[in-house]
Amino acid sequence: GQPRPRPIALRMMERHLIGSQAFVPLQNRPYLVVVAPCQDSVTPDDLNVFLAQGKQGVNYHRGVWHHPLLVLEPDSDFLIIDRGASDMDLEEHWFAEDQTTFEIA
């Protein structure tokens, strides 16, 4: 993974309704985890941002809204496990341009 330009604007979220996804860092580098409750839709007010340490992995339960991987340092490698997922198991929600989204400095 490569870091995004800062401030990081969170404009979309995604979820997988068939399977879970796990992300396990392979280096001891912190990264950001952005999640929202498992519900029909998601708004910027639903978002929660966490700083994960480089020795912590995350496993998104099926249906949980989450942002794609947000690394803080270049060339951050992860082991990614998609349990039961396929190319068809992806739902994205893009926020309207007039909605306020988090910006992470």
pLDDT-derived band at 6 (thresholds 50, 70, 90) equals confident
* pLDDT, tens digit (0-9, with 9 covering 90-100), for 16-74: 998 889 999 999 999 999 999 999 999 999 999 999 999 999 999 999 999 999 999 99
DSSP string, the chain: --PPPSSEE--EEEE-SS-EEEEEESSS--EEEEEE-SSS---GGG-EEEEE-TT--EEEPTT-EEPPPEESSTT--EEEEEES--TT--EEEEPPTTS---EE-
Q: For residue 105, is pLDDT > 90? A: no
- What is the model's pLDDT at position 28? 96
Predicted local distance difference test score (pLDDT) of residue 89: 85
What pTM does this model have? Answer: 0.89
